[in-house]
Amino acid sequence: MNSRREFVASVAGVAGALAVPASALGANDRIRIGVIGCGGQGTVDMRAALKCENTEVIGLADVFTKRLDDARKLAPNAKTYMDYRYLLDDKDVDAVIIATPQHLHCEGFVAAMEAGKHAYQEKTMAFTVEHAKKMRAAYLSARRTVQIGHQGCSAPELNDAASYVSNGSLGKITEVHAHMYRNTPHGEPQWTRPVTPDMSSENIIWKSFLGDARNQPFDANKYINWRFFWDFSGGNYYENMCHQLASTYKVLNLTIPESVTSTGGVFVWKDGREVPDTMCTSMTHSEELLYNWTSGFGNNELGGGQYILGTDGSIADGGKTRYIPQKVNRPDAPEVVFEHPPMAGNIYQAHMQNFLDCIRSGQETNCPFDLGFRVSIACRMAVDSYRQKRTLSWDPSKEEIV
């Protein structure tokens, strides 16, 4: 299933009127939330949910006792679980936030759908192609509201960008250039989290953390710094490229790439990490468009940015989002900065509010399942290309990476 049109057709055939969840709530109904994964991102998402009106966090699940204790400070009346399945058994829970490490997304999402819960699923949505397909089957069967945690999809500037694309102001779009660069002081590796004495096999359910990853002895460093290791992480492809890719896919409605080539290496931080700290990825799409993305953890001069490049103009997202005409073809067209009033709260709260609003209304979320599906496949292709040191292609008929 390669295109959004094919996906929507599948939805219509399998699940009927998917746009209206079976348990849509009234506009003023209180939504009771459970959080699966109470680490850094789970806490950010929980804070965003608690700032939204008519919302309550009533359940918390995590494999590490300390994280449950910390999360209870934000939601003192919430029940706590070290096994998320007991949280899903609670009939009072309407929706869940799933903010586990990436390799556990499928397990929690499928279980949530089977339990009839709406789901705010953190990015990158699926860890593997197999996981993506399992999640799709569960989603189509459950007919529940799903928001994927690409928060940038709730930025109002995306609507401006989409309007300039649709009215032809960019002309023929042939490339998107995106990049994300960071730096940290010497001796402070990017992403590193400290191992503390309480991170022990007595306080962490290691088997639950492993999920369907290969069996291996308890390792506190792998638990807390899971982003470094391929068993649990897609590296910066799954951490940051996915966000920029999701915004582009939403604006341009791109399909899964035809081919992907990734190169790079661990050039800066020789600390045992397996995922690269410097990388370059190029994706060829059937829409006659190249998506190029570079990233590094050794210099932050370029920062982050994304540029949609057309024969008649560009959409530049590097601080202020703006339209820049190509004077060679549009000599009289002005540059336009997309100005919007300051958002109430922040982008996380806006994305969470959209999720909650769509539970009540039955409308499609700003980052719906099919967008997360396409992005996750593209990111998996990037990871596998890097690891296999070759260009990989997508077979749309078999839905396989080849």
pLDDT digits (tens, 9 = 90+) for 181-190: 999 999 999 9
Distance CA 94, CA 90 (A): 9
Let me know if residue 11 belongs to a domain: yes
Let me know: does 161 contact 173? Beta carbons within 8 Å: no
CATH code of the domain in which 285 resides = 3.30.360.10
**So what's the pLDDT on residue 26?**
62
Neighbours of 310 (CB within 10 A): 21
Residue carrying the six token digits 């995306």:
158
Neighbours of 48 (CB within 10 A): 24
Length of the chain: 402
Same domain, 247 and 352: no
CATH code of the domain in which 89 resides = 3.40.50.720
Let me know if residue 21 belongs to a domain: yes
Same domain, 122 and 188: no
Name the phi and psi angles at 317, rounded to 5. Answer: -125, 90
Q: Which of 195, 199, 385 minimizes the C-alpha distance to 272?
A: 195
Which residues make beta-bridge pairs with 281?
A: 262, 293
Let me know if residue 17 belongs to a domain: yes
Distance CA 116, CA 110 (A): 10
Name the phi and psi angles at 281, rounded to 5. Answer: -130, 135
Let me know if residue 66 belongs to a domain: yes
Same domain, 290 and 360: no
Query: How does DSSP classify residue 152?
Result: G
Q: What is the 3-state secondary structure (H, E, C) of 286-338?
A: CCCEEEEEEEECCCCCCCEEEEEEECCEEEEEECEEEEEECCCCCCCCCCEEC
Same domain, 90 and 171: no
Same domain, 147 and 16: yes
Let me know if residue 264 belongs to a domain: yes
Let me know if residue 279 belongs to a domain: yes
Distance CA 129, CA 400 (A): 7
Q: Is the pLDDT of residue 338 over 60?
A: yes
Which stretches of 73-219 are DSSP H helices?
84-88, 105-114, 129-142, 157-166, 206-210
Same domain, 294 and 169: yes
Q: Which of 396, 150, 125, 401 minimizes the C-alpha distance to 261?
A: 401
Same domain, 104 and 188: no
Same domain, 184 and 83: no
Q: Is the pLDDT of residue 156 over 50?
A: yes
Distance CA 341, CA 321 (A): 14
User: 229-284 pLDDT, tens per residue?
Assistant: 999 999 999 999 999 999 999 999 999 999 999 999 999 999 999 999 999 999 99
Let me know if residue 205 belongs to a domain: no
Tokens of 72: 């209870």
Neighbours of 167 (CB within 10 A): 8
Q: Which of 200, 252, 243, 244 minimizes the C-alpha distance to 221?
A: 200
Same domain, 65 and 176: no
Q: Is the pLDDT of residue 113 over 50?
A: yes
Which residues make beta-bridge pairs with 393?
A: 259
Task: Please give the mean pLDDT across all residues of the chain.
Answer: 93
Same domain, 161 and 116: no
Same domain, 28 and 119: yes
Same domain, 84 and 42: yes
* DSSP code string of 21-45: -TTPPPTT--EEEEEE--SHHHHHH
Above pLDDT 90, what percent of the chain?
Answer: 91
Q: Is the pLDDT of residue 6 over 50?
A: no
Let me know if residue 260 belongs to a domain: yes
Environment class of residue 316 by beta-carbon count within 10 Å: exposed (0-12), middle (13-18) or buried (19+)? buried
Let me know: does 125 contact 375? Beta carbons within 8 Å: yes
Count of domains forming the chain: 2
Note the Cα 376 to chain centre separation in Å: 8
Query: What confidence category does residue 24 fall into, taking pLDDT thresholds of 50, 70 and 90?
Result: low
- Residue 270: domain span: 154-193+230-340+378-401
User: 216-242 pLDDT, tens per residue?
Assistant: 999 999 999 999 999 999 999 999 999
